[in-house]
């Protein structure tokens, strides 16, 4: 991959990134902008909606990056990532809705959700990867659909289709105002605390993932992805490594789910379990660049921006083509998924390395592979 200098000679910044940089000035610039905007979002944007969008981007960066651990580094396609996302969110939602807004409930709920997600991740992996990696994709699809149905059927526990609305601990609640006056021009309130909780946890998780994929464990995963048979012949238990990767990715997705629940103070099947979120994650990771971690992060930011700007653009095209009904129907704002789907197919066919991967391939820093 990249030049590998001994740890002692590496700068603190490089060590923080586990020696793994975006690998191209453009990618580095995009990442720097992303981190800067997310770090200072409450100062940069006035409205609560913009800040909530920034928090959503941070959560999706973790969700997409953890998915990349499976897709890009381990080479298996899971369709159950939203299930783990949902388990984390439901863990928090059920605990807080059931026993009131206390920190202990929050911790118990998230620990239960995260632990259950990790166990389920291992279980699915052991059942399917024992046979063929391709079974994993099909079985995760089936399990994810069961999760969705269960969440809407077990009305007493999950609130069914309506979901659960709950209060968060006072420190994180919007009604928390320790100071009447803004401090340095910023209103300190629960929303701000929630935002920075989300930002810091997301940042730490992302750095942890970077550490993980650049560790010996991550190297074995990549070896398995490149040549499963050879990795097995070298003595690595392929099933064990893939199952562990599945469990870690599941746990990370569940943590992202707990953050989502805290952000929205609500959770329902549509917000965390729906298949359209799974598709969003796939688009983020593949378009951004599989197996780079930075790619999914940039992809997550681009997807959120696209959802803001693609619909107005399509609206404009739909009005422009109004005389031709079929053409106009293709440009309906609701059809944005059609265009993203096309883009996704084109990327898979012609640029399988995605944005960051393609940049790296021609990057200044890319060394012998």
Tell me the closest approach of the beta carbon of residue 247 to other proteins, in angstroms.
18
| d(C-alpha 24, C-alpha 8), whole Å | 24
Tell me the closest approach of the beta carbon of residue 142 to other proteins, in angstroms.
5
| d(C-alpha 186, C-alpha 167), whole Å | 24
**147 vs 163, beta carbon nearer other proteins:** 147
Secondary structure E strands in the chain: 164-165, 266-267
Tell me the closest approach of the beta carbon of residue 281 to other proteins, in angstroms.
12
Kindly list the residues in this chain that would bind other proteins in the complex (CB under 8 A): 71, 75-77, 127-128, 130-135, 137-139, 141-143, 145-146, 149-150, 153, 275, 279, 282, 286, 326, 329-330, 332, 334-335, 337-338, 340-342, 344-345, 348-349, 352
Residues 6+ apart with CB under 8 A from 71: 77, 78, 285, 286, 290, 291
| d(C-alpha 172, C-alpha 257), whole Å | 16
The pair of three-digit structure tokens given for residue 148, joined into one six-digit string = 């969705």
**35 vs 270, beta carbon nearer other proteins:** 270
Pairs from 124-127 (Cβ < 8 Å, separation ≥ 24): 124/80, 124/246, 125/239, 125/242, 125/243, 125/246, 125/247, 126/239, 126/243
* CB atoms near residue 368 (< 10 Å): 6
**240 vs 279, beta carbon nearer other proteins:** 279
**188 vs 279, beta carbon nearer other proteins:** 279
Tell me the closest approach of the beta carbon of residue 111 to other proteins, in angstroms.
26
Per the listing, tokens 């021609």 go with: 362
**21 vs 74, beta carbon nearer other proteins:** 74
**97 vs 250, beta carbon nearer other proteins:** 250
DSSP-derived pairing of the beta strands 266-267 and 164-165: antiparallel
The pair of three-digit structure tokens given for residue 320, joined into one six-digit string = 């422009």
Tell me the closest approach of the beta carbon of residue 221 to other proteins, in angstroms.
14
Tell me the closest approach of the beta carbon of residue 212 to other proteins, in angstroms.
20
Q: Which of 31, 36, 53, 12 is nearest to 305 (CA)?
A: 53
**145 vs 165, beta carbon nearer other proteins:** 145
Tell me the closest approach of the beta carbon of residue 138 to other proteins, in angstroms.
4
Cα dihedral sign for 93, 97, 100, 101? positive
């Amino acid at each position: 991959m990249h030049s590998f200098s001994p740890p002692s000679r590496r700068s603190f910044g490089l060590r923080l990134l586990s020696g793994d940089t975006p690998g191209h000035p453009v990618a580095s610039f995009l990442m720097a902008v992303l981190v800067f905007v997310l770090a200072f979002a409450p100062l940069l944007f006035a409205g609560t909606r913009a800040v909530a969008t920034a928090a959503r981007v941070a959560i999706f960066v973790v969700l997409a990056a953890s998915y990349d651990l499976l897709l890009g580094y381990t080479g298996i396609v899971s369709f159950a990532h939203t299930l783990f996302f949902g388990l984390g969110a439901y863990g928090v939602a059920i605990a807080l809705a059931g026993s009131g807004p206390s920190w202990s409930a929050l911790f118990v709920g998230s620990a239960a959700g995260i632990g259950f997600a990790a166990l389920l991740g291992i279980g699915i992996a052991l059942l399917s990867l024992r046979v063929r990696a391709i079974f994993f994709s099909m079985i995760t699809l089936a399990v994810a659909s069961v999760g969705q149905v269960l969440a809407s059927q077990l009305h007493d526990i999950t609130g069914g289709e309506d979901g659960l609305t709950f209060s968060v601990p006072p420190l994180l609640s919007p009604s928390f105002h320790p100071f009447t006056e803004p401090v340095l021009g910023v209103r300190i309130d629960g929303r701000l605390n929630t935002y920075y909780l989300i930002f810091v946890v997301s940042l730490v998780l992302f750095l942890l993932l970077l550490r993980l994929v650049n560790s010996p464990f991550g190297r074995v995963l990549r070896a398995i992805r490149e040549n499963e048979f050879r990795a097995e012949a070298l003595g690595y238990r392929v099933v064990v490594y893939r199952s562990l990767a599945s469990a870690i990715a599941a746990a990370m997705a569940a943590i992202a789910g707990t953050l989502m629940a805290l952000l929205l103070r609500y959770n329902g099947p549509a917000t965390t379990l729906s298949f359209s979120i799974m598709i969003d994650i796939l688009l983020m990771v593949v378009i951004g660049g599989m197996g780079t971690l930075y790619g999914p992060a940039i992809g997550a930011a681009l997807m959120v921006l696209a959802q803001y700007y693609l619909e107005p653009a399509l609206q404009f095209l739909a009005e422009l083509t109004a005389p031709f009904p079929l053409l106009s129907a293709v440009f309906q704002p609701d059809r944005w998924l059609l265009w993203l789907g096309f883009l996704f197919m084109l990327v898979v066919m012609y640029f399988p390395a995605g944005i960051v991967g393609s940049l790296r391939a021609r990057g200044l820093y890319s060394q012998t592979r």
